[in-house]
Amino acid sequence: MSPKITTELLKQLRQVMKSPKYVQEPVQAYIVPSGDAHQSEYIAPCDCRRAFISGFDGSAGTAIVTEQYAAMWTDGRYFLQAAHQMDNNWTLMKMGLKDTPTQEDWLVSVLPEGSKVGVDPFIIPADQWKRMSKALRSAGHDLVPVKENLIDTIWTDCPQRPCKPLITLDLSYTGVSWRDKIVALRSKMAERKVLWFVVTALDEVAWLFNLRGSDVEYNPVFFAYAVIGMNTIRLFIDGDRMMDPAVREHLQLDSTMEPEFKIQVMPYGSILSELQAVGAGLSPKEKVWLSDKASYALTEAIPKAYRYLTPYTPICIAKAVKNASETEGMRRAHIKDAVALCELFNWLEKEVVPKGTVTEIIAADKAEEFRSQQKDFVELSFATISSTGPNGAIIHYKPVPETNRTLSVNEIYLLDSGAQYKDGTTDVTRTMHFGTPSAYEKECFTYVLKGHIAVSAAIFPNGTKGHLLDSFARSALWDCGLDYLHGTGHGVGSFLNVHEGPCGISYKTFADEPLEAGMIVSDEPGYYEDGSFGIRIENVVLVIPAETKYNFKNRGSLTFEPLTLVPIQTKMIDVNLLTQKECNWVNDYHQKCREVIGAELERQGRHEALRWLIRETEPLIRVP
């Protein structure tokens, strides 16, 4: 991976930052956030402006370019990757380390007095705008919206915004019709006394209408907004996608409908003017509900007195609690996914050990090939992290020809991968050794496993927020002075985004919504040694009610059920470091893998992979 040379681009950007063609007054700094106009984590190529200007293409990062400097903020997952991808024009700002300044503090320290800081108002979320604007103002500077995106002005070969066909999902997948979802949303709106709800997040639009798309790689979403009134539904979407008879039928566009369920289809680009019209027509006490992460541009379209902003929308919260159809779909998807991985690992053992011809890219492709053989497979759910040896320490590594290593019997191999099936989304990490792991590698792996089990087996009261469980995942590592610089888990969508709110397991958040039965999150502690190896053990787990001996204040308890059923390599476990309880957990888990995945491998006639599964799920024996 050689860094992108950005000298010329930065020069051009600094020119347009001063050009009266684009800015009323010159801006002394320009902020390039990660997201798109929907604050998506995964974005379409046309929205990869931060990667274009800097070379750094990780999923999280904010670039700021001033007349003199260019700086990039990103988190611990990406320190190594960003350092590799950016040239010397860029300063890496390692978020989460004590001495790293915030973007605001840094700007204040480098800007000349009375500076203007520009940003695209469609890309910056309203809450970030507010925080940044306040900090800059108090230091005598101004945050200003720059209507034309300045990166786009210098990005001569910028790709077109995608506009791909839609997939309709019937009740057997979604459990609830889009009409019933609208009814539930309107009842939440009535509770809060708001008249309008603006759907800005792409996965929320998709979920609400039981539609899926493929405008963004890995995330089955499509570019659209929706504005839901108490009697109106407006869907802002481009292209001829609404001409598809299946979509018209699904949305009942041609039926005689009660007017409150009649969908008005409007051009994607008309959202701002339509919303401004809504805002202009409001009477006192009439409110419009938006996410506080909606773009500054859309938020500003509604006069301040009429805005009702919340960190999580009612759609986000409803979407997180999977219903029985969705849960069953997720189970099926994870069984198919496990079949593919058993095939893969069996194949790897046969290829890596004697031949030594399998590279990270070949392994990733093979994983995709096995997954694509499964029913209802759509695409991968994120770029496969197939990494061996030192590449494993790059937390969100993606193999490219320049970095591609060959798997060997001497190195740890880490595979973090997942897929979109029509019935569910998967995300699983396994760390394997095809030779003989060292005692130190086994020790580290076992601490990570203890953390994984501590979360997976945790019992906690109803109403507990996920961030309160994060330390359980770290305790065994902490005892030995080790740790990892990322959160422990994220929400997972149901044939939707592999990362979704409003719940998760991380020391970094506090505003997460309480966990409740039906939510689905990942459990993925790790340990990484720069230049040597990476270890991560990840299952997707379902929040379920727990039976407990007592029931304090009648609150009820919750725990997790692993949906991922892929063996955890016992060769990597130092069984003497496990408690008997932890040892039993591993054996019970492997027993379940054997039963459930074994039956499916049998059904699919995959006998060699079945033999591999049986071998890999032999019970651990702990000598007390």
The footprint of a second copy (CB under 8 A) covers 98, 138, 305, 458-461, 463, 468-472, 475, 477-483, 507, 510, 546, 548-553, 555, 557, 579, 624
Smallest separation, CB 385 to a second copy (Å): 21
| Closer residue to a second copy (CB): 377 or 585 | 585
Q: Read off the amino acid at residue 279.
A: G
Written as six digits, the tokens of 531 are 């230049």
DSSP labels for 550-603?
Answer: --GGG--EEEEEE-------GGG--GGGS-HHHHHHHHHHHHHHHHHHHHHHHH
Smallest separation, CB 255 to a second copy (Å): 41
Helix, strand, or coil (residue 451): helix
| Closer residue to a second copy (CB): 355 or 549 | 549
| Closer residue to a second copy (CB): 230 or 459 | 459
Smallest separation, CB 56 to a second copy (Å): 21
Smallest separation, CB 471 to a second copy (Å): 5
Given phi > 0 = left and psi -120 to 50 = alpha, else beta, which region is 356? left
Smallest separation, CB 93 to a second copy (Å): 17
Smallest separation, CB 559 to a second copy (Å): 10
Closest CA to 413 of 524, 533, 530: 533
| Closer residue to a second copy (CB): 335 or 541 | 541
498-508 exposure pattern, b = at least 16 Cβ within 10 A, e = fewer: bbbbbbbbbee
Closest CA to 503 of 475, 486, 522, 485: 522
| Closer residue to a second copy (CB): 549 or 603 | 549
Q: What is the C-alpha to C-alpha distance for residues 479 and 476, in angstroms, rounded to an integer?
A: 5
Q: What is the C-alpha to C-alpha distance for residues 587 and 153, in angstroms, rounded to an integer?
A: 58
What residues contact 296, with CB distance under 8 A and at least 6 apart?
119, 121, 122, 124, 125, 126, 129, 145
| Closer residue to a second copy (CB): 477 or 563 | 477
Burial degree of 362 (CB within 10 A; 0-12, 13-18, 19+): middle
Closest CA to 299 of 39, 22, 32: 39
| Closer residue to a second copy (CB): 59 or 464 | 464
Given phi > 0 = left and psi -120 to 50 = alpha, else beta, which region is 63? beta
Q: What are the distances in angstroms from CA 404 to CA 56, 59, 63, 385, 400?
A: 18, 20, 27, 11, 6
| Closer residue to a second copy (CB): 9 or 558 | 558
Written as six digits, the tokens of 115 are 């500076």
Smallest separation, CB 188 to a second copy (Å): 16
Q: What is the C-alpha to C-alpha distance for residues 23 and 26, in angstroms, rounded to an integer?
A: 6
Q: What percent helix, strand, coil does the chain show, rounded to 5?
A: 40, 20, 40
Smallest separation, CB 509 to a second copy (Å): 9
| Closer residue to a second copy (CB): 531 or 552 | 552
| Closer residue to a second copy (CB): 323 or 471 | 471
Alpha-helical runs (H) found in 356-408: 360-372
Smallest separation, CB 208 to a second copy (Å): 26
Smallest separation, CB 516 to a second copy (Å): 11
Residue 346: other Cβ atoms inside 10 A: 21
Locate tokens 């507010």: which residue?
130
| Closer residue to a second copy (CB): 25 or 483 | 483
Smallest separation, CB 297 to a second copy (Å): 22
Q: What is the C-alpha to C-alpha distance for residues 70 and 90, in angstroms, rounded to an integer?
A: 5
Smallest separation, CB 488 to a second copy (Å): 12
Q: What is the C-alpha to C-alpha distance for residues 481 and 358, in angstroms, rounded to an integer?
A: 35
| Closer residue to a second copy (CB): 192 or 607 | 192
Smallest separation, CB 572 to a second copy (Å): 18
| Closer residue to a second copy (CB): 155 or 507 | 507
> Three-class SS string for 492-525?
CCCCCCCCEEEEEECCCCCCCCECCCCCEEEECC
125 secondary structure, DSSP code? B
